Amino acid sequence: MSHRTLPDNHPGAAATTRSDVDGIHISLKGRLDALGTAFLWDDAVTLVRSGQHASVTADCADIEYMDGAGLALLLKLREEAALAGGKLTITNLREEYQQLINLTWDCELPQWTPKAKERRGFAEAVGKATEEVLLGLREMIAFVGEATVMILQTIRHPSQVRWKDVLLSCINVGVDSLFIIVLIGFLMGLIMSFQSAVSLQRFGGEIYVPNMLGLVMFREMGPLVTAILLAARSGSAFAAEIGTMKINEELDALTTMGLSPMRFLVIPKLLSALAMVPLMTIFFNMASLVGGAIVMLSLGFPLVTFTSRVFAYLHFGDFWGGMFKAVVFSILVAGVGCLRGMQTKDGASAVGLSTTSAVVSGIILIAFADGLFAVAFYYLGW
């Protein structure tokens, strides 16, 4: 017969062992909480693992407290005893701890078997990537179709829209973005006018700076830059909001209650973007003209000359062409943001990935649509 005391310099837990012909006996003492169990774990497991014992007996009479950590230690000792060809017997365990053990004692411990890293050939990898692209395209087409149908239903039945949500979204998209839109518009008008004036001074053509600024801002830069700014601000916010709701299973809860997530979440955001992006584009254009006017005043041109040159060559077709671009860009920004939010997967980084994808996809679609507009306006003679 041999006796052994496991390290007991931890004040909360200790264990004493002895071996005889019947097997090994382990007397557990003190508190088997996370700290005490961690202190005894390695020595207790090594002791059971080291010998071929017919049986292992755990005497729990002196245990003052035990939680899930202590239960894990007993399960591990049972597993090691079974691997050594014996079994674990628990004695003198108090009733409340016996109820805790009964929760998992009869369950098989999960076995972890590492899997070899999947290796795909080139053709298989290309096929998998193509499948993901096609599935994403299918989801996008379904989303566009469903959103279009619901917008048409909204036009026919305005009372079905949650106008309070639309108003709150308008505040987030428009009012809260007004300062950054006006600031960027002012700076762009200032910079573009100054750079153009510096270049045209060589030829005495500074007077043409207002003509260039008005056409460029109203036809091209105004709706384009406004849409890009809102894609980075509002599109990402849409994706993060809906993505978080999907991870929290709130979208499933809406569906269970008979509420359509598209009608409840997406349509208010689309309507608010449709209403606010053209207005924000107008603010951007006006702010850019203020920046250009400051440059022209600094060059010695009166304000009346600047305004007359701007609006003498700026026609309604230029203005409405820019507004039509802003409407299309607003649908792209809001739609892509909501779609990426609906496509959010599980995981801690899923919302961040959806937000990034919403911004990148939105900017790419805006640039692509702007190129199509440029070609269409050219052939239409605008």
- 292 and 363 in a single domain? The answer is yes
- 56 and 159 in a single domain? The answer is no
**Beta pairing, strands 13-20 & 23-32:** antiparallel
Range of the domain at 371: 146-380
Residue 18 near residue 1 (C-beta atoms within 8 A): yes
Q: Is residue 122 part of a domain?
A: no
CA distance 63 to 79: 21
- 259 and 204 in a single domain? The answer is yes
Instruction: Output the DSSP codes for 2-65.
Output: EEEE----STTEEEEEEEETTEEEEEEEEEESHHHHHHHHHHHHHHHHHS--SEEEEEEEEEEE
- 77-82: average pLDDT: 78
- 91 and 177 in a single domain? The answer is no
- 93 and 188 in a single domain? The answer is no
Domain boundary among 79, 102, 125: 102
- 7 and 88 in a single domain? The answer is yes
- 363-380: average pLDDT: 88
pLDDT at 267 over 50: yes
Task: Decide: helix, strand or coil at residue 361.
Answer: helix
Domain boundary among 81, 102, 123: 102
**Residue 21 — pLDDT band, cuts 50, 70, 90?**
low
The pair of structure tokens assigned to 231 is: 């894609």
What's the confidence (pLDDT) of residue 52?
Answer: 58
Q: Is residue 114 part of a domain?
A: no
- 28 and 151 in a single domain? The answer is no
- 209-214: average pLDDT: 85
**Residue 284 — pLDDT band, cuts 50, 70, 90?**
very high
Q: Is residue 52 part of a domain?
A: yes
Residue 274 near residue 327 (C-beta atoms within 8 A): yes
The pair of structure tokens assigned to 306 is: 């600047």
Domain of 25, CATH number, reads 3.30.750.24
Give the contacts of 350 (CB within 8 A, at least 6 positions apart): 243, 247, 344
CA distance 41 to 71: 12
pLDDT at 115 over 70: no
- 241 and 346 in a single domain? The answer is yes
Q: Is residue 127 part of a domain?
A: no
Give the contacts of 167 (CB within 8 A, at least 6 positions apart): 272
What's the confidence (pLDDT) of residue 108?
Answer: 67
- 171 and 302 in a single domain? The answer is yes
**Highest mean pLDDT of the ranges 49-53, 152-156, 293-297, 345-349:** 293-297
pLDDT at 302 over 60: yes
Give the chain's domain count.
2
Q: Is residue 134 part of a domain?
A: no
What proportion of the chain, given as a percentage, has pLDDT over 70?
91
Q: What is the pTM of this model?
A: 0.65
CA distance 313 to 324: 20
Per-residue pLDDT tens over the stretch 325-350: 998 898 888 888 888 888 888 877 88
Largest distance between two CA atoms of the chain: 110
- 303 and 182 in a single domain? The answer is yes
What's the confidence (pLDDT) of residue 1?
Answer: 46
- 327 and 269 in a single domain? The answer is yes
Residue 205 near residue 302 (C-beta atoms within 8 A): no
pLDDT at 220 over 80: yes
Instruction: Output the DSSP codes for 151-193.
Output: HHHHHH-GGGS-HHHHHHHHHHHTGGGHHHHHHHHHHHHHHHH
- 268 and 375 in a single domain? The answer is yes
Pick from 1-10, 93-102, 204-213, 278-287: least confident: 1-10
Half-sphere exposure at residue 234, Cβ-oriented, CA atoms within 13 angstroms: 34
Domain boundary among 102, 130, 161: 102
Q: Is residue 40 part of a domain?
A: yes
Q: Is residue 138 part of a domain?
A: no
What's the confidence (pLDDT) of residue 187?
Answer: 92
**Residue 11 — pLDDT band, cuts 50, 70, 90?**
low
pLDDT at 213 over 80: yes
Q: Is residue 42 part of a domain?
A: yes
- 35-45: average pLDDT: 81
